[in-house]
Amino acid sequence: MNEHACPLCEADGGLLVFRNHDLRIIQADEAGFPAFYRVVWNRHVAEFSDLSATERQICMHAVVKVEQVLRSELQPAKINLAALGNMVPHLHWHVIARFDWDSHFPAPVWSVPQRPVDEAQVAAVASQCLEINRLIAEKMAL
């Protein structure tokens, strides 16, 4: 896949939370996981090791900022980080707040569900995401 057929070259890929020259942070729209963010490298590269050492630091700095805000605001059971890209080979990092009540915990979000979605708990997390998005943007702008 080159940049001419790449959905992450054509669109932000979700609700835009922050953008700079190098990368953007979006809130994904994944059912049952409101606190599911992605750090998308703006340039079309497939692999993390396609970045220079400096670029990798910039990228992981953003991943860590998102992780820190999710931890401080949501106290999740675990943060999940992943750069897979098998379907869309344009570098993007998933940053996902996981909870012991979520539909898949402790399995990965890509695995089979462990239980039904708890709509009330999901809504409670979702209601915090506006403030989370504001905090991510604020910390990235520092």
**List of residues contacting a copy of itself (CB under 8 A):** 46-49, 56-57, 60, 63-64, 67-68, 71, 77-87, 89, 98, 105-108, 110-112
Say how far apart CA 62 and CA 35 lie, in whole Å: 16
Residue nearer to a copy of itself on the CB measure, 27 or 80: 80
Sequence-distant (≥ 6) Cβ neighbours of residue 14 within 8 angstroms:
26, 27, 28, 29, 38
Phi, psi of 116 (to 5 degrees): -65, 160
86 contacts 5 by C-beta, under 8 angstroms? no
123 contacts 69 by C-beta, under 8 angstroms? no
CB of 8 to a copy of itself, least distance (A): 15
3-class DSSP assignment, residue 45: coil
Residue nearer to a copy of itself on the CB measure, 68 or 128: 68
Residue nearer to a copy of itself on the CB measure, 7 or 106: 106
Per the listing, tokens 């999710």 go with 70
CB of 90 to a copy of itself, least distance (A): 11
Residue nearer to a copy of itself on the CB measure, 63 or 129: 63
CB of 63 to a copy of itself, least distance (A): 8
CB of 79 to a copy of itself, least distance (A): 5
Tell me the sheet residues that pair with 16: 26
